[in-house]
Structure 1
């Protein structure tokens, strides 16, 4: 067994391959971005999510490291927990090499532009992620400080990403998958993406085990590279390289060698096999919709080996909160924007608001020229992103990132009998409300077919001419 909590190597950081540790080194100095908890935390008793919940209520979203958590056996864990990494748009922007000023409406589009900048992965012989190799009974899932997030959850859950490839193919798919450790060597899985579901189905149809690598920690750009709607057949290691702006370094797995490559710079890698035809109970789990996913049967992963770097960190996603929402909403905003820009050319901005858990509603602003454009825009968005339940389209003078302005447009520019459309019998998504397959389109653009009041505004020239710092007198107590 490796020694508990080895010091993380610091030499060579400047030119070291990107990892979770190299990213955290950039933000450790800023208490608004990074906080630590030194006291013993029991993640199975909601200590982790209670701390994050308090911060969320204060509208503070730092990355938090719990340095002394307990593992699932109730013993001190060697792995500090790092969570809430994706809690702000600014950190997501910086993670892929953009500036904080680019974290606004353009971030989703800039993120999606990286999809076409693929960088082929490279294979290495020596990997930090394999400094410590555990097999047999030592490959124990319960040695991890797995987090139980909410009071009705089935139990502790791993919330990061799983890697697999289809039979007879040589490309890798990476997607977020929840894993519920039911014993030291087995975990039930919940899989929600089309490509990963297809891969598991193809292996099961062959009655063969599906090899997988479950990765517990990597540079945030690596994860942001996995969240885009890439076509079947794309090697997502190459996509992640585009987001990292350097090749993803791969190493032969401990269990299958060169037949299955795993990330060399990950924190922790669980090598496992999914057993064909076998199912176990998974969920309930508090998910993105702020509701519990119902209990169901899910596939079973059997652990073959666990590897980790010295001083490895255990990464977790704070489900159903800002981090979880941003992880999905930013790439989807960019996907919708790019699709509408290419198909229609009139889109200005796209936002998926927190009020709909950043998944189920899209606010879209357009440069409207004629009636009917708003509905056509919304239909295109619904067809492109199947899990959307509602689309609101506004004029380009409405800031879709300001929900007050969007609601103003709905209240003052919408004739419900004309501007609200129900689209029935669309493909049913994973709708947490279980309300069926109807979608809602709201055309909240200014009506052009009738005489209609103009929205008031201060002249832009006046706003540009008046510098507030030059006009306001100094407040009492201000330094002279």
Structure 2
């Protein structure tokens, strides 16, 4: 009950939309504003990268375009918690609660996102779409929620895909083997196009929910509603049946064309390598709608925002998956060094030897992206890479604690795999259950936690140092 009360109190403080989140960041000195006229190709991304660990950046009139661009909405894990009115300790708990009890969206007849309508589409003229990494094939929509409807039952899916601008009304899109691709195959097998919408500029909760490892036909919009404590208002697109967030900034309405594949890529991806050029699916755009004065959100491919946005929702759903079979699993972390996708650290209260290896195998089955798992004891801080490495250095032996699985499906964006087929490795860095108490007892300085540094340290260290030196003479 106490956790529920904390969640309710936190939700009351969550920013209400993208604009409120930006105002929240500005109030806390976490929003930078660039000069007008920054170039959309390279320069905008370069500035964003320099500030990606510190501040969000707003770019007014990029290359003279009337629509401003914003980047770096998430520069750290605690920002993710702030965006949904939570604290970092409760973040995964909040996300899990939302995933377990989603709030269905509520349809409305009119919406701010449809205040302006472009029935004749010219993507690069009407929207300030940046080019990010040096070898990217051109401008990309990187922070757009791609919303698709199951052509058989109308259930919606929300996800993010890289979207290359290939023409005035044409977009090349990479569809990995997840739900959007499943819907498209249904439509293509029936001989039709898949109706979709690309939504740009939404509340951070919608971005987070889009990255949940949800079941097929589980609408991520409901997870976003539960995160915010109220149903997301949606409106029907003007040219198709897709329902989109009413308070979004921009919507691109279109269709994924059946039987059409065109070159897409290269593009700088989350592993910090370029996803290769290949023939991909194609979206034909029918209409653009937006607010009267919209804000365009972009994510620099492979940057911190890209990693953090994908990491936290996956952590929550991975934790849920593991705790179904292993309730003594306490926490998980997709490490930044592991691209917030490939390397997973698991903290558990170990009950029996051998159990960590079962946990490792369960983690590999939870998501194909995971290629390395380290299991540690409950005394290890898995938010600290040094602590994880220390556990491996002092509690792991390769000949008894290593699990290797070859020929398993992994990420096709991992350049070390053969079209996604590669090896997976698990490390049991836990203490044996029957180990003598002092053998693995961590050293500790008594009273360290109680030291009041303000009370014991001199306020002017330079003057104090001079006094000590003068006495020594």
- In the TM superposition, what are the counterparts of 1:20-169 in structure 2 within 5 Å? 20-31=18-29, 33-44=30-41, 46-56=42-52, 60-70=53-63, 76-98=64-86, 102-104=87-89, 106-136=90-120, 138-159=121-142, 160-169=144-153
1:452-474 per-position Cα deviation (integer Å, ceiling 9, x unaligned): 832432266x2344333333343
| Contact residue 141 and residue 162 of structure 2 kept, 8 A | yes
- Residue 16 of structure 1 and its aligned partner are, at CA, apart by 13
- Residue 270 of structure 1 and its aligned partner are, at CA, apart by 0.5
- In the TM superposition, what are the counterparts of 1:394-409 in structure 2 within 5 Å? 394-409=376-391
Structure 1 unaligned regions, length at least 5: 1-13, 71-75
Provide the rounded CA distance (Å) in 2 between the counterparts of 1:411 and 1:398: 13
- In structure 1, the partner of 2:400 is 418
| Contact residue 15 and residue 24 of structure 2 kept, 8 A | no
- Residue 478 of structure 1 and its aligned partner are, at CA, apart by 9.4
- In structure 2, the partner of 1:456 is 442
TM score, norm. by length of structure 2: 0.89
| Contact residue 132 and residue 307 of structure 1 kept, 8 A | yes
Return closer, same or farther for 1:108/1:163 CA change in 2, 3 Å cut-off.
Answer: same
Provide the rounded CA distance (Å) in 1 between the counterparts of 2:312 and 2:373: 16
| Contact residue 14 and residue 83 of structure 2 kept, 8 A | no
| Contact residue 154 and residue 284 of structure 1 kept, 8 A | yes
| Contact residue 171 and residue 236 of structure 1 kept, 8 A | no
- Residue 188 of structure 1 and its aligned partner are, at CA, apart by 0.7
Provide the rounded CA distance (Å) in 2 between the counterparts of 1:343 and 1:68: 52
- Residue 117 of structure 1 and its aligned partner are, at CA, apart by 3.1
- In structure 1, the partner of 2:3 is none
- Residue 118 of structure 1 and its aligned partner are, at CA, apart by 1.8
Q: Does 1:290 align with 2:281?
A: no
The answer to which of 353-362 and 445-454 deviates more is 445-454
Runs of 4+ residues over 4 Å off in structure 1: 14-17, 448-452
Return closer, same or farther for 1:465/1:275 CA change in 2, 3 Å cut-off.
Answer: closer
| Contact residue 147 and residue 157 of structure 1 kept, 8 A | yes
- Residue 95 of structure 1 and its aligned partner are, at CA, apart by 1.4
Return closer, same or farther for 1:370/1:140 CA change in 2, 3 Å cut-off.
Answer: closer
- Residue 429 of structure 1 and its aligned partner are, at CA, apart by 3.1
- Aligned partner of residue 300 in structure 1, secondary structure: strand
Provide the rounded CA distance (Å) in 1 between the counterparts of 2:256 and 2:440: 61
Q: Does 1:185 align with 2:169?
A: yes
- Residue 82 of structure 1 and its aligned partner are, at CA, apart by 0.8
Provide the rounded CA distance (Å) in 2 between the counterparts of 1:29 and 1:42: 27
- Residue 67 of structure 1 and its aligned partner are, at CA, apart by 0.6
Provide the rounded CA distance (Å) in 2 between the counterparts of 1:16 and 1:86: 15
- In structure 2, the partner of 1:366 is 348
- Residue 341 of structure 1 and its aligned partner are, at CA, apart by 2.2
Q: Aligned to 2:262, which of 269, 280, 283?
A: 280
Provide the rounded CA distance (Å) in 2 between the counterparts of 1:416 and 1:55: 40
- Residue 376 of structure 1 and its aligned partner are, at CA, apart by 1.2
Q: Aligned to 1:267, which of 233, 236, 249?
A: 249
Return closer, same or farther for 1:308/1:449 CA change in 2, 3 Å cut-off.
Answer: same
- In structure 2, the partner of 1:73 is none
Q: Does 1:382 align with 2:378?
A: no
